[in-house]
Structures are given as structure tokens and as C-alpha cells.
Amino acid sequence: MSHSVLPRNQLGDLQGRMSQPFVPQVHGMQTISFVTSFKCGGFAIGISTSHTTFDGLSFKTFLDNIASIASKKPLVVMPCHDRHLLAARSPPCVTFPHPEMLKLSDLPTCPDSNIFEASTEQLDFKVFKLTSNDITKLKEEAKNSSTSGGTSTTCVTGFNVITAHIWRCKALSCEDDNPNRSSTILYAVDIRSRLNPPLPKSYAGNAMLTAYATTKCKELEELPFMKLVEMVREGATRMTNEYARSIIDWGETNKGCPNREVLVSSWWRLGFEEVEYPWGKPKYCCPVVYHRKDIILLFPPIDGGGGVSIIVALPPKEMEKFYGLFNKFLTLD
């Protein structure tokens, strides 16, 4: 536990001070939670988790149960810890190609390349904000750019347009500006209800798999925005029971990791800010930034209002391009 001589309201805009996050090196047994108290009586709780233990939905259940225990009440949800529900089949049966996955044996072998560690290059960090009006405008851009006439608009969700918008900005800001370069975006999909039989709603492990969309950079710039949104939608639609089981079996057979240019991880509607502790709901919940340029995080804005905040980490030149594209595409008529 640590203490701050400042009250919470004098800390300023925390969203603008993430370039040097306080993540101390811990030796020996690692701390999984840390409390910082402020002069005003408020406090912040930082919690470290592993995706081998939780996904976002499971962690929300964990917090609900912690809050209930702290209030001397019974568990809100009795968690299901049966990991066998997501075990590979015997024998494994990979029935689909999985370009979204990369075999560990195919990873670069140079000493400076480690896909599991933070980047050593200089990165700038910025929180981009989309208001509810911005999201509505992106939806309208998608619908208005449809050239097929009969294209369904059911895929024009907030998440799909935000992800498509991030994808084109990230790909086109890359240092490698080859228009024929392929760009792949990954994003998490909850498979609880997609399996047959479905997982219990109380499943408390990691039931997220990565959907993907891929195309050439020149198409990200030239295609109608609706087409990009449809690509994002198709990635999630692809995640059927058989496809999910195929990915699990692929992992058992090949041992690998996600293969992408960028991964979008969404805290946007997980509801961490709605957990009712004995002392009330949190004033604000957000993730700690990753020192990696291939992970982009979505989370609720501090002022609510239906918008979304987006943490991006990029080298300075790429960040400058990303910033310009992010605003340019928002102002297109």
C-alpha cells in the first residue's frame, strides 16, 4: 500500500499522463493488488491478472463477488472453474485454416525479438476519444458508403465501426507504407454462447478467442468504409462452435500465439465501473497501458456519455500519422 499527499481531484487529467506508467519491477513473489490512498480519503486499487486465469467477463464476476464478500453478503455468482469444458478434442481435429495464429516454431529467432515482452523502442502514448456523436457519424459513414444497395446494416454496430476506424488508421500510419502489404487486425470474441453446448454463463476462465480481418493497405484506404465494417463483422460471424473448437485443437497440435499487426482489446462494456462496493461504485476504471505498439485498448471515458476512450502506443512518427488519420477520417463528409 502507498499514500499520496495530494487529494484525488488535484491529480489532474490522468488520461494525459500515461507515457511513463508506474509499473515497478517486483522481485520474488509478485503483488497482484496494490492500494494507493489519497489525502482526501479516496483511494485507487490496481489489480494484476493473467489471461490464463480470467478473461474480462470472468474478472467482472470476480469483482462482483469480492464486493459482495466485502459487504458481508453471499457470492453474487458461483463461478464455474471446469477448464475441461475448453479442452482440445481427442484426437485434435483442425478443420479450418487459421491465419490468425502463428506457430511458435515460426517466430523470429533473433535475440531482440520476443513476442511476449514489451517493446524496447521509444513509444508515445495517447488516449483518443470518440464521443457518442462521433460513433453515430462513423455508423452513418458506413451506411452511406454502401455501394451494393441491398447490403444489410445489421453489422453497423458501435464496436464494428470503431474497430474498422482504428484498423485503417493503424495500418496506414505504419512505417512500412507498401500499399500491397497485408494488414491483419484481431479482436476478442466471447465464445460462451457460441459453443454447442454453450458454456455456463458463470464460466470463470478465459473463454475469449480472437476473430480476425485482413486485407491490403491500399484497400483499407480505397474501399468504402462499409466494406471494412463488414470485414470486421465477418470475423466475429466466423466464430462458430466448429471454428472455435478448431482453434483450440490447433493450439493443442501446434503450440502458437495470435498472429497480427494489431489486437483490439475492449473494456468498453465490461461494466467494471458498475461494481457496487460497500463504499460505492468506482469513480473511474481503466487499464494500465501496455508498452507495445500492437495492442490497442478500448474503455469507457471518465465522464461517461456513451463514448469510448482508446489507448494507443506508437513510435513518435507513426503516432503523428495515426493522429492525423484518426481526425481526417472523422471529418470526411
Segments in the chain forming alpha helices (H): 56-70, 132-144, 158-172, 217-222, 225-237, 241-254, 316-331
Q: How crowded is the C-beta side of 229, counted as CA atoms within 13 Å? A: 25
Contact in structure between 151 and 230 (CB atoms under 8 Å): yes
Q: How many helices (H) and strands (E) does the chain have?
A: 7, 11
51 is catalytic: yes
Which three cell numbers mark 189? 470474441
Secondary structure (3-state) at 222: helix
> Which among 100, 276, 318, 320 is annotated as catalytic?
276
Contacts 24+ apart (CB under 8 A), 29-34: 34/1, 34/2
Query: What is the C-alpha separation between 302 and 310, in angstroms, rounded?
Result: 12
Query: What is the C-alpha separation between 108 and 125, in angstroms, rounded?
Result: 26
276 is catalytic: yes
Contact in structure between 284 and 309 (CB atoms under 8 Å): no
> Which among 51, 219, 252, 291 is annotated as catalytic?
51
Q: How crowded is the C-beta side of 105, counted as CA atoms within 13 Å? A: 4
Query: What is the C-alpha separation between 215 and 304, in angstroms, rounded?
Result: 34
Residue 139 contacts by C-beta under 8 Å, 6 or more apart in sequence?
Answer: 156, 158, 161
Enzyme catalytic residues:
51, 276
